[in-house]
Amino acid sequence: MLKVDQLASGYGRIKALHQVSLEVKRGEIVALVGANGAGKTTLLKAIAGVQPVAQGRIFLDAAPIEKLLPHQRVKLGLVLVPEGRQIFAPLTVEDNLRVGAWTRADDRSDGDLERVFSYFPVLKEFRARLAGSLSGGQQQMLAVGRALMSRPKMLLLDEPSMGLAPLVFKQIISVLESIRQSGVTIFVVEQNVNAVLKIVDRAYVLEMGKITLQGTGNELLADTRVQAAYLGV
Amino acid sequence: MTTFFQLVVSGITVGSIYALVAIGFTLVYRASGIFNFAQGEYVMLGGMITGILMTTCGVGFVPASLVAILVTVAIGAISYLLAIRPARSAAQVHLLIITIGISVLLRGLTSALLGKDFVRIPTFVSPETFNIGGVVIQSQALLVIAGAMAMASLLWLFLTRSFVGKGITAVSANLMAAKLVGINPAAIVALCFGISACIGAVGGLVATPITMTSYDAGTMLAIKGFSAAMLGGISSAAGPLVGGLLIGLFEAFGAGYVSSTYKDAFALLILLGVLAFRPQGLFGNRSTQRV
């Protein structure tokens, strides 16, 4: 579904990613874990098209997409939920969600709206509020819901747990599993390594801009290097 | 007292035009972060094209004004796509200089193609003037005020009610998130340039019967409109409208009670005062960012 081949990217002269290659197969849920500053956000942004790529290729369904603009990638079904709840503060909750269906010319977003409300009932309750007035956890739900409105084939999530109460995080994790069951492929960056490795099919470990380890969730949970570096064992 | 009300009427009339320029400034600024100093030229083009078509080609007012609006909108959108968009990674001040370049170019092209003479549009309402308790009011002036209010309300409805308008708000609020939901910011910003050109052109063609216009009328309008936008505050919906009317009133009172020699200086004095003491404008909130 998604294939990243020898990808390099950086900020000015600082290289954040060195020849990163990875693959996510259709229907999989795959995690990317690593320390702060390892390049996880840079990688997701590069895949979504909001971070320039210096070298390498990105394929979605075998078609190269590294030259496409971000909105063109969304049209192909590749959607990023960015880090830090980048919602549209001056729009209402409902308008945030409807704008999420921007690329769908048919504009029949009512069904999708109901689906998002069924995942996150609190958004339905606050549908007329300004998004900027929501709490952090609610904004994160809104960001995930907004991404679902475009009916993505492949969902990229950057740190969905950041700053969230454990209960909210559990809710988001269970929604991720429902989304995956509805046929969406998921690639998720997460700092809560223990929780995320339990639910994913496979995971990659990114260190200093390079993939250093990969395996199934259980393999990595059992790996002594992962335990030492990320699980505090 | 008659003088006072006479000045109020003329201040609100000219202020309506400044308000339209200011609205154009804020619309483009909020979508793109660019101050478009070609904003005044849109007003000039609306008046010039309509006037030339009517006086030298004998076209009726309605078709002439439609042509003028369409040409101005096309110029607004194309100048963004050809000259500003390709330089989008440049610093803001460079983009601002590009818009000044576009403004100089439009002025030059207009003087070469349409001439350097003053252009007039015949008044299209009658009676031309009427009198309320000694205050002489031009019917056309009421049309200018009504036109400006109508344009401002239509724009507000479009931005808050329509799906595309919400897309513009999304781009203004969070550019990266807008890209990530599949909005093409270039299309949105080109649309905003087009809308601001349309607003300016309409202002120009309703005002020209009173003010007349010429190829170089846009510069002063841009300065006044910019002052109005800064005075009202660039982040609020009502700001540019109120700012425009206030600048018009200051100018009318200044010219009436102080000296008309310094008419154009009043807007600049206000601009300096605002930048020094209240940079967010009357209605603007200090920019705050959630982290």
- At A106 the pLDDT is 63
pLDDT at A203 over 80: yes
Picking from A52, A58, A50, A51, the residue whose alpha carbon sits closest to that of residue A20 is A58
- At B286 the pLDDT is 55
Give the pLDDT confidence of B71-83 residue by residue, as tens digits. 999 999 999 999 9
Average pLDDT across chain A, whole number: 90
Picking from A151, A141, A156, the residue whose alpha carbon sits closest to that of residue A101 is A151
Residue A160 lies in a domain: yes
Alpha helix segments (H runs only) across chain A: 40-48, 70-75, 93-100, 110-119, 121-125, 136-148, 166-181, 193-199, 217-222, 224-226
Residues in chain B within 8 Å Cβ distance of A100: 181
Q: How confident is the model over B181-204, as a mean pLDDT?
A: 95
Give the pLDDT confidence of A36-89 residue by residue, as tens digits. 888 899 999 999 999 999 999 999 998 999 999 999 999 999 999 998 879 999
How far is B181 from chain A, CA to nearest CA, in Å?
5
pLDDT at B258 over 50: yes
- At B237 the pLDDT is 80
Phi, psi angle pair for B60, to nearest 5°: -70, 165
| B290: confidence class by pLDDT, cuts 50, 70, 90 | very low
CA B264 to chain centre: 17
Lowest mean pLDDT: which of A159-168, B29-38, B91-100? A159-168
CA–CA distance, B93 with B98 (Å, rounded to integer) = 9
Residue B278 lies in a domain: no
pLDDT at B16 over 60: yes
pLDDT at B120 over 60: yes
Domain extent, residue B81, equals 2-215
Residue A134 lies in a domain: no
Residue B279 lies in a domain: no
Q: Which of B181, B188, B285 to probe the A interface (max A CBs under 10 A)?
A: B181
CA–CA distance, B161 with B166 (Å, rounded to integer) = 7
Residue A132 lies in a domain: no
- At A105 the pLDDT is 64
CA–CA distance, A17 with A210 (Å, rounded to integer) = 6
Residue A172 lies in a domain: yes
Residue B234 lies in a domain: no
Tally of structural domains, chain B: 1
All residues at 6 or more sequence positions from A190 whose CB lies less than 8 Å from its CB, including other chains:
A31, A32, A33, A157, A159, A160, A161, A196
Burial (0-12, 13-18, 19+ Cβ within 10 Å), A78: buried
Give the pLDDT confidence of A3-26 residue by residue, as tens digits. 999 999 988 888 889 999 999 999
Q: Which of B180, B235, B236, B288 to probe the A interface (max A CBs under 10 A)?
A: B180
Interface contact B170-A146, CB threshold 8 A: no
Q: Closest chain B residue to A70 measured between Cα atoms?
A: B179
CA–CA distance, A94 with A116 (Å, rounded to integer) = 10
What DSSP assignment string belongs to A12-80? TTEEEEEEEEEEE-TT-EEEEE--TTSSHHHHHHHHHTSS--SEEEEEETTEE-TTS-HHHHHHTTEEE
Tally of structural domains, chain A: 1
Residues in chain B within 8 Å Cβ distance of A69: 179, 184
Interface contact A98-B173, CB threshold 8 A: no
Domain extent, residue A61, equals 2-85+153-231
- At A161 the pLDDT is 82
Residues 109-138 of A with CB under 8 A from B: 132
Residue A123 lies in a domain: no
Residue B181 lies in a domain: yes
Residues in chain B within 8 Å Cβ distance of A150: 181-182
Residue A127 lies in a domain: no
CA–CA distance, B241 with B248 (Å, rounded to integer) = 11
Residues 106-145 of B with CB under 8 A from A: none
| B285: confidence class by pLDDT, cuts 50, 70, 90 | low
Residue B155 lies in a domain: yes
Residue A110 lies in a domain: no
- At A191 the pLDDT is 83
- Residue A167 sits in a domain of what CATH number? 3.40.50.300
User: Is residue B173 within 8 angstroms of chain A, CB to CB?
Assistant: yes
% residues pLDDT > 70 (chain B): 98
